[in-house]
Amino acid sequence: MRILGTIPHPTFKIVAYTIERYFYIEIEAGPMKQCYKLHKEQVDGLEGVKKWLDEDFLAHLQHTFETMYKSHQASVNRNFPK
């Protein structure tokens, strides 16, 4: 796995990697991470990955991260009370 590049974003840390047949994209927000694979046949390099990360998809990612964070915090609060 090699780093293809980073994609600047004000909220997320986004890193694209290249592996055999895929581009592997990691998107991080706080303690959570979402990862996706895109076939290299579908996407034209880093520019194609940037195109894939359109406004609608990023809005959905934000919503998913919020849900993940709430679940994470609820588990911490249940299992590690102060």
Predicted pLDDT of residue 51: 97
The mean pLDDT value of the chain amounts to 96
Q: How confident is the model at residue 81 (pLDDT cuts 50, 70, 90)?
A: confident
Whether the per-residue pLDDT at 82 is higher than 90: the answer is: no
Q: How confident is the model at residue 5 (pLDDT cuts 50, 70, 90)?
A: very high
Predicted pLDDT of residue 64: 97
> pLDDT tens-digit profile of 28-62?
999 999 999 999 999 999 999 999 999 999 999 99
Span 25-29, mean pLDDT? 98
DSSP string, the chain: -EEEEEE--SS-EEEEEE-SSEEEEEEEETTEEEEEEEETTTS-HHHHHHHHS-HHHHHHHHHHHHHHHHHHHHHHHHHS--
